[in-house]
Amino acid sequence: MTNNKKKVTIGICTYRRPEQLKELLVSIFEANDTSEFILTIAIVDNDENRSANEVASLFYNENINVIYHCEFSRNISDVRNKCIGIANDNESDYILFLDDDETISPNYFISLAKMLNQYDTDVVIGPVITCYYPQTSQWVIVSKLFERVRKKTGTILSTGNTGNALVSMALIEKVGLFNRAFGQSGGEDSEFFYRCKQHGAKLTWCDETEVFEYLSLDRANLQYAIKRGRRGGQTFSKIRKNHYSLDKKAIIITTRSIVGLFGVLASLPLIAFTGKRKGTILLVNSIARLGQIEGLFGRETKMYGE
C-alpha cells in the first residue's frame, strides 16, 4: 500500500558543482529505508551551460524519479520557485530543500518519518554540519566561525533557512513563492520563513535529520564571513522595515550603531592577539548589526547573479 506514504519532492538548486551534486545524489539513493515516502528529485540548474545535466542523467534509471530543468534567470528565488513548480506538478505533500554541496546522513529519511509522525508541524528544519578540508586554516576550525547552532528536537523556531528544510506544500499555497526582490542579495529564505511565521506556521527543529557540508576553501576566510554577516543584517531590516515606525527605526539606528561599533572595536585586539582563533564571531555579529542600519536605507550586498 502506498496511499499513506508522503509524497516529497527534493528540490536541489545547483550552479556549477557537478561533482558535489553527484555526491549529494549518491547519499540520497544510498539512504536507509525511504519506505515512508514517495520521492522525486528536482534538479534545477542555474548554469546556462547545463553543467548538472550529465550528472542528473546518471540517475535517470534509478528507483527515484529524477527531473532536470535548466533555469536561465540569474535570480535564486526563480530557481527555488521552479523547484516548487515541479513539486506542485508532482502533487507533492512536501518539498525538501537541500543544497548542492551537501550530503545527507544515512538515516535521514528514517528520522524525518519519525519526526512527521510525532510532531504536527508545517516545516521541519534540520542541522547543517560544517566539515573541513585538510587545507583549511586552523583558525577557521578553532574559531567555529562557520558552524551553526544545534537545538533540541521539537524546538519551535522563529525562522529557518533552505539548507535543510522540509516545507508543507499546503503552507506554500497560503504563503506564496520566494520573493524575487531577494533573489540576488540572498536572504530569500529568511524572508520566506518570516512570511511563514506571519501566517501562523509552525517551524520545528529536528536534530536527527543531519546533513553535512564541506566549507569550500574560497569561503574559508574572514572576508567572506564579514560579507555574509553584513548581508544578513541588511536582509533582517529589509524584511521588517515596512512594519517599523519612525521611532522604531530611530531606536534601531542608535542601538545598532553603539553595539555594533563597540563590538568591532572589542573584537580587533582579540583577533590580533589570538591569530583569529577568538574574536571573529564577535566581529561578524557586530558587522551584522551595522548591516541592519544599512538595510533600513535599502543598501544591499549581492551574493548571487553576478
In a structure prediction context, what are the per-residue pLDDT tens digits for the chain, which is 306 residues long?
446 899 999 999 999 999 999 999 999 999 999 999 999 999 999 999 999 999 999 999 778 999 999 999 999 999 999 999 999 999 999 999 999 999 999 999 999 999 999 999 999 999 999 999 999 999 999 999 999 999 999 999 999 999 999 999 999 999 999 999 998 888 999 999 999 999 999 999 999 999 999 999 999 999 999 999 999 999 999 999 988 999 999 999 999 999 999 999 999 999 999 999 999 999 999 999 999 999 999 888 877 655
- Based on the fold, state whether residues 163 and 234 are members of the same structural domain: no
Measured CA distances, 260 to 106, 252, 256, 290, 291 (Å): 42, 11, 5, 6, 9
4 is written with which cell numbers? Answer: 499513506
Q: What is the pLDDT of residue 298?
A: 87
- Based on the fold, state whether residues 89 and 212 are members of the same structural domain: yes
Measured CA distances, 66 to 62, 87, 94, 191, 285 (Å): 8, 12, 16, 29, 40
- Based on the fold, state whether residues 57 and 198 are members of the same structural domain: yes
Listed residues 188, 217, 246: the one ending a domain: 217
Residue 304 lies in a domain: no
d(CA 109, CA 87): 18
Listed residues 165, 196, 217: the one ending a domain: 217
d(CA 45, CA 51): 8
Q: What is the pLDDT of residue 1?
A: 40
What's the gap between Cα 203 and its chain centre? 14
Which DSSP category does 162 fall into? T
Residue 234: domain span: 220-295
- Based on the fold, state whether residues 181 and 105 are members of the same structural domain: yes
Q: What is the pLDDT of residue 304?
A: 63
- Based on the fold, state whether residues 240 and 210 are members of the same structural domain: no
d(CA 132, CA 279): 20
